[in-house]
Chain A
Amino acid sequence: MLPAVPRILTIQDLAKIYPGGTKALDGISLDVERGEFVVLIGLSGSGKSTLLRCVNRLVEPTSGRVIFDGIDVTAASGDELRRIRRRIGMIFQQFNLVRRVSVFANVLSGRLGYRPLWRTVAFRPSREDVALAFENLQRVGILEKAFARADALSGGQQQRVGIARALMQRPELMLADEPVASLDPATSHSVMKYLEEINQKDGITVICSLHFLSLARRYGTRVVALKAGQIAFDGDPEAIDERRFREIYGEDAVEVEIGPERHRDARELVAAAARVADPAAVDPDLPPDR
């Protein structure tokens, strides 16, 4: 039986070779159903960021197809591409807010794809957009910070502004590129919970890349692991045992837990990190030192 509505996202044999010859994606095929919370894992450089950016064409794929809600994203251009993009929200590791302007202005900018040009130039948002901005700020719990400068907020608050900005688009799909990699464990959970909420309450499909496998197990309904630009695992988060973990992250890797909600002792984390036999071995569950 054919589904009544087109699948939210279909990726067919997607490849990306950067100028200079780096093969970031090497034949990725993936189907994402509506309402899924897909977590992308894999080493730094395994292609997670590139894959997410190919979905909304922030990065131009070399070959293959991306089909969003039955529309070929890879074939779209100009206005058509922008109409697709405004249905796909995105949040970033570095939050990517305009630092010098207010939180409110940042959130409003999520509406740009729907707004006539003169409103942008004249800084005259419509009444509905203003109401929607306040609503979304309230939703992520920082309404009182609306007129603070974006760079005056803490990392976790900035990421929530990022979520509010993406929600302005009323997206059907949310891409999250390591949204908590710059945050501490406690703040990470608070940000992930907002993603979980929009996934469960609003039915927004989420594709989120993460460094911590423990977060992937806690929040993902499905885990897709990338290795050297190919899919190394695709399935239930609980199915990742030690053997699979080593397949994804390499032989020397040791999984380091990061406390899910119940806060673990920091010393325990350090001790766990110290158990890695070879300190030079890539340890995916330690925060990247960016």
Chain B
Amino acid sequence: MADYFVARGIPVPAELRRTPLTDWRRWGTIALSLLVVYIGLRITDIDISRANPEYASGVLLSLFRWDFSILFPQNQFETFWDAGLGLMIVTIFLGIIATVFAVLISLPLSFLGARNIMTGHPLTAAVYGAIRILFTIIRSIDVLIVVILFSIIFGLGSAAGVFGLAFHNIGVLGKLYSEAIEGIDPGPGEAITATGANRFQVIWTAMIPQIVNPFISFTIYRLDTNVRLAPIIGLVGGGGIGVLLFQTVNLFEYPKAGVIIFMIVVTVATMDFISAQIRKQLV
């Protein structure tokens, strides 16, 4: 491209001039990437010699010899809610309840974490900063770690699962909501302020209508994610279908585990589909 300028005697734009520095950066980046992969392979000791294809294929096949008895009570001591189907329903509601708790707390907090609402006064600006840092810290603790920590407080079971999931989601939803508020058009707020409305009326009349749809969209997205996460938190003591899955795998009851995995896949796929459809309507 630079020859166009050279041929006409026009100075070549700096962007087109090749310098040793840009070349050096490019090769340096490639070399560094390769080095990281090499070191990674050396120190992680990835060993595939222990793989046992015959045993694995046997297990995989048995996962598909579905034993549906796990879905229903197997003796007079179990109720419907102790068996697979009941626990799946419980798990879906774990995800829903966790989302509700998270929304209830993150919704008011998100207004305090929105720059366009909190500017203007040093105190409110400080609150804004604190809330956003809080969201980031909460969000950076993975949900499995949170559930393990909460199971120390609440013991193994649904409480640890729900509160752990909700806690993590306060960070996620808080950030999503806050950014939705920050993304709104400031014009209507300015116009409503000019009519002599107070701050609350401005937020209520000019801002809320602009954020309702993004808020619903984000909430459904997190609901979907939480129902997807709910079976997993059972594995670390959060209650629900995950506990049963863990038990069947430990007891080598692969045909039963296969049914549970299939049931989870169907549930998650259904949620995913419904959530996508609803959010498409909201755009």
Contacts and interface: CB of A to CB of B under 8 A. Distances in A.
**Do A and B assemble together?**
yes
Interface of A: 56, 58, 82-90, 92, 94-101, 109-115, 117, 120-121, 162, 165-166, 168-169, 175
Contacts of B198: 82, 117
B210 A83 contact: no
Contacts of A84: 196
23 contacts: A82-B196, A82-B198, A84-B196, A85-B195, A86-B195, A86-B196, A90-B191, A92-B187, A94-B187, A98-B205, A98-B210, A99-B210, A100-B210, A109-B195, A110-B195, A112-B197, A112-B201, A114-B196, A117-B198, A120-B200, A120-B201, A168-B195, A175-B194
Secondary structure class of chain B's binding surface, majority of residues: helix
B259 interface: no
A90 B194 contact: yes
Nearest to B191: A96
Secondary structure class of chain A's binding surface, majority of residues: mixed
A111 B205 CA distance: 11
B195 A165 contact: yes
Given A92-B187, A117-B200, A109 B194 contact: no
Nearest to A87: B196
Contact of B205 (A89, A90, A112): A112
B188 A96 contact: yes
Contacts of B190: 58, 92, 96
A97 B188 contact: yes
Given A82-B197, A112-B196, A162 B191 contact: yes
B230 interface: no
Contact of A85 (B187, B196, B209): B196
Nearest to A114: B196
B195 A112 contact: yes
B193 interface: yes
B192 interface: yes
B204 interface: yes
Interface string B175-190: 0000000000101101
Nearest to B120: A60
A201 to B, nearest CB: 22
Contacts of B209: 98, 100-101
A58 B191 CA distance: 9
B206 interface: yes
B187 A83 contact: no
| Best-buried of B188, B191, B194, B200 by chain A (most CB within 10 Å) | B194
Contacts of A115: 201
A108 B103 CA distance: 31
A120 B205 contact: yes
| Best-buried of B187, B195, B198 by chain A (most CB within 10 Å) | B195
A98 B210 CA distance: 8
Contact of A92 (B191, B196, B212): B191
A166 B188 CA distance: 13
Given A100-B210, A120-B201, A120-B204, A113 B191 contact: no
Contacts of A94: 187
A85 B201 contact: no
Given A92-B191, A97-B191, A101-B209, A113 B196 contact: yes
A237 to B, nearest CB: 27
A97 B213 CA distance: 17
